[in-house]
Amino acid sequence: MFAMARRALRKLDPALDLAPWLTTFEQLPQPWDAEQLFGRVAPLEVELGSGKGLFLASAAAARPEHNFLGLEVSAKYAHHIAARLAKAELAHARIVHGDGLRVFHDLLPEASVTAIHVYFPDPWWKARHKKRRVMNEVFVRDAQRTLIAGGSLHFWTDVEEYFHAGLQCISEATGLIGPHAEPEQAPEHDLDYRTHFERRTRLAELPVYRAVFHKPG
């Protein structure tokens, strides 16, 4: 198993007001109300496990016509992501500190999400811990339920065993169409990667396994 050291997070600027971008499950509108959260109605993309927030910030900057919701269980990473969104003034993006699976299962309504992104989730290597993986039967069924017709579920990992287990779970538990391959793209600059983990993996010349599924329309 190849291990790559993680860089320490930069210290947050105490002058930054993170409140407009950082929220918790309890602070989200219940029942779900996207207009209340974002101040507008727009197609919604959700990332489960946002890490350092590279995808969330990059995608929100590239697609200003969409709303973006990141879900991150780590408090320090959630605050780091909120600072990234604040600096970029991405008013149509939010990061939730909390259990992302709970957001999908208990809050997001049917046919409310345009795209779901799951990039490099924790593989939980030990056999007794694999039940903690986010690519499980409950989540993929929630993914199918919350996606709009024609919506997409993107799943990337650097762990081949997890990749095939995830694809099997999606195939057996849902009616999503796929897997379809997502080709690797050459980066145009140093941070032109889907996530920081993809960058580290590819710079180490290790494989990344990618797939996308679509909900029938």
Length of the chain: 217
3-state secondary structure of 83: helix
Instruction: Report CA torsion sign: 5, 210, 78, 106.
Output: negative
Token pair in block for residue 182:
């997502």
Distances (CA, A) of 8 to 5, 76, 178, 194, 200: 9, 11, 37, 20, 14
Catalytic residue, candidates 122, 142, 190, 192: 122
Is 122 catalytic? The answer is: yes
Residue 18: which of 77, 102, 60, 105 has the closest Cα?
77
Please identify every residue annotated as catalytic.
122
